[in-house]
Structure 1
Amino acid sequence: MPTLPNLHLPGLSRSDADPSPDELMRIYLRRHLAAAGAGVALFRRVASSVASDMRTQVGELARDVEEDQQSLLAIAERFGAQRPVLQEKIGGLAQELGRLNPTGTAIRRSPLADVIELEALGTAVQGKLLGFHTLRELADDDTRLDPAEADVLIERAEDQKERIEALRLEAVRRAMD
């Protein structure tokens, strides 16, 4: 049977033993960090392409999401989780490829594009909200996690969801009129 080359890939165990809870947490945090990196790139891109009257609001959301990414990085450092640079780049490429999805026009930007992009932002925020709820669930039993910090991150994500939904509904009205 062939053996694996002598590579160290974060999150890949070379033994049959189950990963420790700490290793599982590092894997979990790296996955969320990779998604956060792609999310920041998505928010920045949408902030520059969405309808002009929405750009300021999406730009503010992009800054908020970047602050949340920095908070997640600080949490990950407490667990010894390394930033997943390659996974972040792959996630950023995937969200760029997602732009190739046709939205009904070939010459100009379709009003439907704003709806789809705002839905993508909402999905990204929902993913991080689930991650923050997971951290909050574990915070009472792990001193590396601060329950109050997790609560703030949850509140911020809930606020971001509401702001995105208001923008999305406006984009829906414009696109479907």
Structure 2
Amino acid sequence: MERSHAGQPRAERLRLLGVYLNDHLGGATFGTDLARRLANLPHEPGTAESLRRLAAEIAEDRAHLLDIMKRLDVPVHRHKVVAGWMGEKASRLKTNGRLVRRSPLSLLLELEMLRLGVEGKAAGWRTLREAAETEPNLSKGLLDDLLERAERQRDLLEKLRVEQAAHVFASDRATERA
């Protein structure tokens, strides 16, 4: 049976929040690197612009997370940042049916990974929004804005993901009609 943590001293709540935020920082590092890499690949003009804007926003979100950690006096655990960075590099090693060049499946899987990361980020903003009810160093307005932006990012990624899935798995007849 799990015991209640209600009424914990503020120092203990901040310690737990520090662990939580550092875990999210590792994920934010992974997501920022992945978004930048996707934005730098060749795409259709509209997709390229959307991915460039998205990568910039994701980098800004990571900067906001670092600022929140600073305001809460939460130290950055470098090993979490390095783990996120290494995780993004390792994600490139996935099998995609081709050894030398990118497969259309690569972009689909990367869009799915990024979408899952944005979902995790949104969950983190929701958690911080809840903590803002009792933590004066957290801005409810900022967290509401970050959550709204994460939801827009999720919607964009879902649109791009569906388009890429249709491209990857379109039949020859569907391609001829297009």
Name the TM tier (shorter chain).
0.7 to 0.9
Evaluate the alpha carbon distance shift between residue 149 and residue 43 of structure 1 in structure 2; reply closer, same or farther with a 3 A threshold.
Answer: same
TM-score normalised by L of structure 2 = 0.83
Instruction: Give a deviation string over 1:126-160, Cα, whole Å, max 9, x none.
Output: 11100000011111111111111110010000000
Give the deviation of 1:165 after TM superposition.
Answer: 0.7
Q: Decide whether the 8 Å contact of 1:42 with 1:92 is kept in 2.
A: no
Out of 113, 122, 135, the position equivalent to 1:142 is 135
Number of the residue aligned with 1:109:
102
- Structure 1 runs of 4+ aligned residues shifted over 3 Å read 50-53
Q: What stretches of structure 1 of length at least 5 have no aligned partner?
A: 1-18
Determine the C-alpha separation between the residues in 1 that align with 2:54 and 2:43: 15
Q: Decide whether the 8 Å contact of 2:126 with 2:147 is kept in 1.
A: yes
Number of the residue aligned with 2:21:
29
Determine the C-alpha separation between the residues in 2 that align with 1:164 and 1:140: 30
Determine the C-alpha separation between the residues in 2 that align with 1:50 and 1:172: 17
Evaluate the alpha carbon distance shift between residue 57 and residue 141 of structure 1 in structure 2; reply closer, same or farther with a 3 A threshold.
Answer: same
Count of residue pairs brought into register by the alignment: 159
Q: Decide whether the 8 Å contact of 1:25 with 1:79 is kept in 2.
A: no
Out of 10, 28, 44, the position equivalent to 2:36 is 44
Q: What stretches of structure 2 of length at least 5 have no aligned partner?
A: 1-10, 171-178
Determine the C-alpha separation between the residues in 1 that align with 2:80 and 2:107: 26
Is 1:67 matched up with 2:57? no
Counting only pairs closer than 5 Å after superposition, residues 93-172 of structure 1 correspond to structure 2 as 93-172=86-165
Greater shift after overlay, 45-54 or 66-75?
Answer: 45-54
One-letter amino acid matched to 1:129: A
One-letter amino acid matched to 1:36: A
Determine the C-alpha separation between the residues in 2 that align with 1:85 and 1:41: 16
